Amino acid sequence: MNCIICNNVKINKIYRNLSQCPSCGLIFYANIANGSEIEELYNADFFEGEEYFDYERDKYIFQKNFKARLNCVINFISTGNLFEIGCAYGFFLELAQQSFQVEGIDIAKKPTEFAKNNLGLAVHTGNYLDFPLKDKKDIFCMWDTIEHLKEPQLFVEKIASEINPGGYFFLTTGDIGSLNARWRGPKWRLIHPPSHLFYFSRQTITRLLANYGFSVVDIQHPGYYRSLSQMIYTIFFLNRNYEVSKIKKFLKMIDWSLYLNLFDIMLVVARKK
């Protein structure tokens, strides 16, 4: 596999089946599955019992974070049409529709049906790369999504062709160049392939975006609200072969949230030239 940023053919293996391009520094998972296998990862169980304890139940916590992201968007552009890739249950779009004309897409069927049927949002089920966008957008958002993509460069290329000149692209992803990620090394909490495939730093995400005519105008390291039940589930039960149904009743009694900032997640603001 060539580097998706600089097309370098020489790739070095580092740790935990991750590889690194010695030319630009991009880190990625070497054994990327095919498209159908990746889509299988994001079935209903992904949002309830696999990656997440109960995504729908934690809506109010996700929307605490999404309000902060929406405020960031509005600080740069306050009107126009907005398209979200990886919109899941539509919790961000539900807030954003107060300020923008909104639309979204996700490959996961159950969440997108919830967004359409319960929230009345213009949300599509499918792969953005195959989706015929009818008109150009002023804003694209990709929250905690780009690291999951098999070919993120193709998404950025398509966004570049479907965004208005001067439009904004907002995304969040882990920062593998952060102090916490470098300190933790192979034990960094955001390294968990095959759901996370690409691990960007400030430098590599800036270079990827520049390849398709985007100029990075801001990079922030925001904190996040987390549900205590999700934190307990992630630390003690995720990927440990526990029967989720046996712990659900206990965890659903825990209805607290905590604010945490390890400065290892970046919010990137890019503008199309």
- Mind listing the pLDDT tens digit for each residue in 47-74? 555 555 567 778 888 999 999 999 999 9
Count Cα neighbours of 18 within 13 Å in the Cβ-side half-sphere: 24
**What is the model's pLDDT at position 247?**
62
pLDDT tens profile 119-148: 999 999 999 999 999 999 999 999 999 999
**What is the model's pLDDT at position 143?**
98
99 pLDDT tier (thresholds 50, 70, 90): very high
Of 100, 176, 190, give the one whose Cα is nearest residue 141: 100
Q: Which two tokens stand for residue 124?
A: 């599509």
Question: Could you give all domains of the chain from N- to C-terminal order, each with its CATH number?
Answer: 35-181+220-272 (3.40.50.150)
**What is the model's pLDDT at position 109?**
92
**What is the model's pLDDT at position 193?**
87
pLDDT-wise least confident of 18-32, 146-160, 242-256: 242-256
Q: What percent of the chain has pLDDT over 70?
A: 81
pTM of the prediction?
0.89
**What is the model's pLDDT at position 35?**
54
Are the CB atoms for 125 and 94 separated by under 8 Å? Answer: no
- 238 phi and psi, to 5 degrees? -60, 130
- Helical axes 152-161 vs 202-210, angle rounded to 10°: 50
